[in-house]
Structure 1
Amino acid sequence: RDKAQIQITDFGAGSLVSKSNTRRVCEMYASASVSEKQGEFLHRLVCYFKPKTILELGTHLGLSSTYMAFASEAEIVTLEGCPSTAKVALQNHKELDVENVKLEVGNFLDSLPKVLDKIRVVDMAYIDGNHSYEGTMWNYEQILPNTEEHSVLMFDDINWSPNMKKAWDEIISKPEISLSINCYKFGLVFFRKGIEKQHFHFKF
């Protein structure tokens, strides 16, 4: 267990677990890092859809990007707002020999448009950063022009707060979304054409 403390830079809605701007790394693993079950789901999702380009918003400690990296040789670009957290993620990637993940550090308002300028198509996106209504909607609207019919977007923590639920409900109501799957903790949206709009609920 890593008991080291790191300084947290948070551009989003903060944490429900701790209001302090310093946190122990071991506590971050326990409270906010992707679970083994969800990590395996991410891994299988990548194996099934075989995306060539994956975008992640919210690297955290680098575990979710590692699960995805081990499923494919796809180019994975992951964005993290907190430099201290990104440093831990980079160390984890190094120790686990993850080579197909590029980590960008900085406020999404600055880093996301720059990354999207370089990525023509986002085949898959895992959105787990800035858990505010405004931030979630902004992230979606930024990514949308880079999606195509085959693209898949996964939003984490869609029931984390009333504002996250509001953002999720608004996104799945948009005309470009033809299919959504609500797994309670996270949700998937699809842009398939030629099908009747459908919404599914599964308890993950």
Structure 2
Amino acid sequence: MENVEKLRNELKKDHQIIDLYDLKEKRNYRKTVSSLAQTSLSTPKFSAFIYLLIDHLKVTKVLETGTSLGINSLYMAGPQLVKKLCTIEASPIIASIAKKQFAKLLQHKIAITEGTIQDKFEALIVKEKPEFCFIDADHRSVHVKFCVNHLMKHCPGIKCIIIHDIYWSEDMQKGWDELVQDERFALTVDLFQAGLIFPHIDMPKQHFTLRF
């Protein structure tokens, strides 16, 4: 995915100032695109891992919450079998930047929806029935559980759910611990920066912590 990494490097050099709104803190703030790229994007190693996992699981439909600048979106849309990636972004300005990246690569595979997960998530998964979901929009456990529960309700073919930043806060860690204990999930994996749930694997309940 060398072309995606070129876009990442371009974003890190983009000093455009953008106005943002923090949904959790309910406040406006300003950042440069470059600082957002430095602090908000997954590492190339983790992005490549997601690509390989989607490829290994033979996923055809992907859903992402929290588009950010679009780098992970491009990685997840990259595997040959992926026909469509749907991604939700609450910030119009960030969504517009991501769309510019999609216009350069894989635009035909990616559909971006502007809005919050509370407003857009359920209707989107009912329509699209994703097989893989990357949750990274709202770092509050109540919203993570909202997504997980709706995926289990509406997406019988879901193969993997990734929850990013499971140690972001005590609240996120507690929410992740509760999902690990949830009897619905036979296999869960802790990579520290993210938690993996495999909902429909037929095996005795197990949990693994891996150094990544």
Unaligned runs of 5+ in 1: none
In the TM superposition, what are the counterparts of 1:1-204 in structure 2 within 5 Å?
Answer: 1-12=13-24, 21-72=29-80, 73-119=82-128, 121-148=129-156, 151-204=159-212
Q: Aligned partners of 2:139, 2:156: CA distance in 1, in Å?
A: 25
Greater share of residues in helix: 2
Would you say the 8 A contact 1:55–1:125 is kept in 2? yes
Counting matched residue pairs gives 199
1:100/1:60 CA distance change after superposition, 3 Å:
same
Could you tell me the TM-score, scaled by structure 2's length?
0.88
- The residue identity in structure 2 corresponding to 1:102 is A
Q: Provide the TM-score with structure 1 as the length reference.
A: 0.91
Q: Give me the identity figure in percent.
A: 24
Between the two structures, name the one with larger relative contact order (CA 8 Å, sep ≥ 6).
Answer: 1
> For the structure 1 residues 42 and 193, does the alpha-carbon distance in structure 2 shift closer, same or farther, using more than 3 Å as the test?
closer
Q: What is the CA–CA distance in structure 2 between the aligned matches of 1:69 and 1:147, rounded to whole Å?
A: 19
Instruction: Summarize the Cα distance change of 1:67–1:193 in structure 2 as closer, same or farther, 3 Å threshold.
Output: closer
1:97 deviates by: 4.1
* Alpha-carbon spacing, 1:166–1:134, altered in 2? closer, same or farther (3 Å): same
Cα distance in structure 2, aligned partners of 1:39 and 1:140 = 21
Render the CA deviation track for 1:43-94: whole Å, top value 9, x for unaligned.
1011101112111011000000100111233211000111111001000111
**Cα root mean square deviation, aligned:** 1.8
The structure-2 alpha-carbon separation of the partners of 1:107 and 1:194, relative to structure 1 and needing over 3 Å to count, comes to: closer
Deviation at 1:193, TM superposition (A): 4.6
Where do 4+ consecutive residues of structure 1 move more than 3 Å?
none
